[in-house]
Amino acid sequence: MTSLAFSPCPNDTFIFHALVHGCSSAFGVDFDPPVLADVETLNRLALESKFDVTKLSFHAYGHVLDEYQLLNSGAALGRGCGPLLVSRDGTIDFKRDTIAIPGELTTAAMLLQLFGGGDVLVKVMGFADIMEAVLKGDVDAGVIIHESRFTYEALGLQCVQDLGNWWEEFSGFPIPLGGIVARKSLGPDVIGRIDKAICSSIEYGHANPSESLEYIKANSQEIDSDVVTRHIKLYVNSFSTQLGEEGRGAVDFLLQAGRQNNLF
Decide if pLDDT at 203 tops 90. Answer: yes
Instruction: Say how many C-beta atoms besides its own lie within 10 A of residue 204's C-beta.
Output: 19
C-beta separation of 43 from 60 below 8 A: yes
Q: Collect all residues with Cβ–Cβ distance below 8 Å to 199 and sequence separation of at least 6.
A: 72, 73, 241, 242
The CB density around residue 119, as the number of other CB atoms within 10 Å, is 9
Please identify which of the residues 17, 59, 63, 146 carries the catalytic annotation: 146
pLDDT in tens, 206-228: 999 889 988 998 887 666 677 78
17 labelled catalytic: no
- According to DSSP, residue 68 is labeled E
pLDDT band at 261 (very low <50, low <70, confident <90, very high): confident
CATH class of domain segment(s) 84-171: alpha beta
* 149-199 per-position pLDDT tens digit: 778 888 899 999 999 999 999 999 999 999 999 999 999 999 999 999 999
Decide whether 4-78+175-260 matches 84-171 in CATH topology.
Answer: yes
- CATH for 4-78+175-260, options being 3.30.70.330, 3.40.47.10, 3.40.190.10, 3.90.25.10: 3.40.190.10
Alpha carbon dihedral 81, 86, 90, 94, in 10-degree steps, equals -110
The DSSP output letter for 119 is -
DSSP conformational letter for 126: -
pLDDT by residue (tens digit) across 7-44?
999 999 999 999 999 999 999 999 999 999 999 999 99
Tens digit of each residue's pLDDT (9 = 90 or more) over 47-88? 999 999 999 999 999 999 999 999 999 999 989 888 999 999
**Tens digit of each residue's pLDDT (9 = 90 or more) over 112-153:** 999 988 778 999 998 889 999 999 999 999 999 877 777 888
d(CA 222, CA 248): 30
pLDDT of residue 222: 60
d(CA 191, CA 120): 38
Task: Tell me the pairing of strands 76-78 and 68-70.
Answer: unpaired
Domains of the chain: which residue ranges?
4-78+175-260, 84-171
Contact 227, 147 (CB under 8 A): yes
Residue 114, pLDDT score: 93
CA proximity to 7, closest of 45, 49, 47, 59: 45
Question: Residue 142 is inside which H or E element, if any?
Answer: strand 141-144
